Structures are given as structure tokens and as C-alpha cells.
Chain A
Amino acid sequence: EAGVAQSPRYKIIEKRQSVAFWCNPISGHATLYWYQQILGQGPKLLIQFQNNGVVDDSQLPKDRFSAERLKGVDSTLKIQPAKLEDSAVYLCASSFGREEQYFGPGTRLTVT
């Protein structure tokens, strides 16, 4: 069974530029999560989707971050414009119902 796929694995941009991350969850998983992991910290939930609807985006900085999940499958997380403090690893996870969350390999973003 294929795992959660994410791309790109690494991205370096300058502040005030925009960037987008892509996630493809495990087939059949209706729930998709985006987490932000700043160096030296545990992951923090940014947004949770159930199919293509948003369940929780209370910790998403909506002035610069946006996310969508078209057709309830793939998801894209965008940052525009990026700030230095956005440097982090962005993890995508998916789950079937309320079972275990399976994580992707993450995208490491460096903002200079």
C-alpha cells in the first residue's frame, strides 16, 4: 500500500515570495491533516479536512496561509507572502475514520 506522498521534499525561497506544497493521502482516507513542525518543536496542527470540507483551521494563520482539498483527495497548502518564521517542516497526514494518522515524509521550507 502506497503511503502519504508529499512534494517537494525541500524548498528554499526568499521572504515575501509565495510557495505551495502538495500532498496525496493514502487511497480511501477521507481525513487529511497539515502540520507545521518548527525546528526543535513538535508538530502543530494547521488544518484538518474531512473529504473536501474544513473541520478545523483554528491554528492556520489565515492572513498568509491557505489550503484546499479539491475532490476530497489531493491537497495543497500555500503561503503568500512567506516570512522568516515560516521556516519549518510541513507534514501531511491522513487517516481512515478516527484510526491512526499516517504521516508523509514532509517538506522542509527555508525562508531567507
Chain B
Amino acid sequence: AQTVTQSQPEMSVQEAETVTLSCTYDTSESDYYLFWYKQPPSRQMILVIRQEAYKQQNATENRFSVNFQKAAKSFSLKISDSQLGDAAMYFCAYRSFYSGGGADGLTFGKGTHLIIQP
């Protein structure tokens, strides 16, 4: 079974600064997807960014980028120019690329609470 570990329960950053959230995972599979989800107090999970393991290029979405190190099984999220609206819980998640019978549920880490200081 796959596991996802987020070792930072809480991170704080000044508005307009850059912050990096860490995530490591354990898997024996060679092909998979990795995701970062944002969960504001409203509880609705919002996809921030996704990475396919077979792609060497790191994914980027505007101010959000990842550092994907496949050999190290590391998948960190960098948020540049932090904004007050970025404050939320951030979850790292894993999904198998090939799954028996079509099962493709996400495996989540415990999350990192990101605080933005004005």
C-alpha cells in the first residue's frame, strides 16, 4: 500500500514571500500521479497542481510549482508571492496510474496548515 507523509503540521509565511511545503511518499509502483489539494475553512477540496510521475518536467500553475524528485520520492510545493487567500490546509495526495478493476482513489497525507501573515 502507498503512504504519503507531510512532516510540517503548520507553516507560516509573510504575505508576498515564498514558502515551500514538503511531501514524501512510499510506493513500489513506477507510474503514478501526485497532487496538491487546498482545503480552505469551507472544507471544499480544490486541486492546486498535479504531476505525472513519467514526466520529468516539474509542473507549474501560475504562482504554484512543484519540485518532483522521483528517486527520492519527494514532492514539494512552492508558493511564490504568497497571498492572504492562500491560507488553508494543503494536502499532498497519491494516485496509482494502473489499478486493478479501475480503483483509483486518492491516498492523502495529514496536511499542512498554511498561515499567511499580513
Interface residues of chain A, those whose CB is within 8 Å of chain B, are 31, 33, 35, 40-45, 48, 50, 55-56, 89, 91, 93, 98, 100-101, 103-106, 108
Residues of chain A contacted by B46 (CB below 8 angstroms) = 103
**How many B residues face the partner with a CB closer than 8 A?**
21
Give Cα A50–Cα B106 distance, bound, in whole angstroms.
15
19 contacts between A and B (CB under 8 A): A33-B106, A35-B106, A40-B110, A42-B91, A42-B108, A42-B109, A42-B111, A43-B45, A43-B91, A48-B104, A48-B105, A56-B101, A56-B105, A91-B43, A98-B104, A101-B106, A104-B44, A105-B43, A106-B43
Q: What are the interface flags for B87-115 relative to A under an 8 Å C-beta threshold, 1 for contact and 0 otherwise?
A: 00001010000000111111111110000
- Enumerate the 7 nearest inter-chain pairs by beta-carbon distance, A residue then B residue, closest first: A42-B108, A45-B105, A103-B45, A56-B103, A106-B43, A105-B44, A55-B102
Give Cα A93–Cα B104 distance, bound, in whole angstroms.
12
Q: Is the CB of B103 within 8 A of A91?
A: no
A91 to chain B, nearest CB (A): 7
Give Cα A72–Cα B76 distance, bound, in whole angstroms.
37
Give Cα A105–Cα B39 distance, bound, in whole angstroms.
10
Residues of chain B contacted by A91 (CB below 8 angstroms) = 43, 45
A33, closest chain B residue (CB): B105
Residues of chain B contacted by A56 (CB below 8 angstroms) = 101, 103, 105
Enumerate B12-60 residues with CB–CB distance to A below 8 Å.
42-47, 50
B4 at the interface (CB under 8 A from A): yes
Give Cα A103–Cα B45 distance, bound, in whole angstroms.
6
Residues of chain A contacted by B110 (CB below 8 angstroms) = 40-42
> Which residue of the partner chain, among B4, B42, B43, B47, contacts A42 with CB atoms under 8 Å?
B4
B107 to chain A, nearest CB (A): 8
A34 to chain B, nearest CB (A): 9
Give Cα A93–Cα B93 distance, bound, in whole angstroms.
14
Give Cα A105–Cα B45 distance, bound, in whole angstroms.
8
Q: A40-B110, A41-B110, A42-B110 are in contact. Are A89 and B50 (CB under 8 A)?
A: no
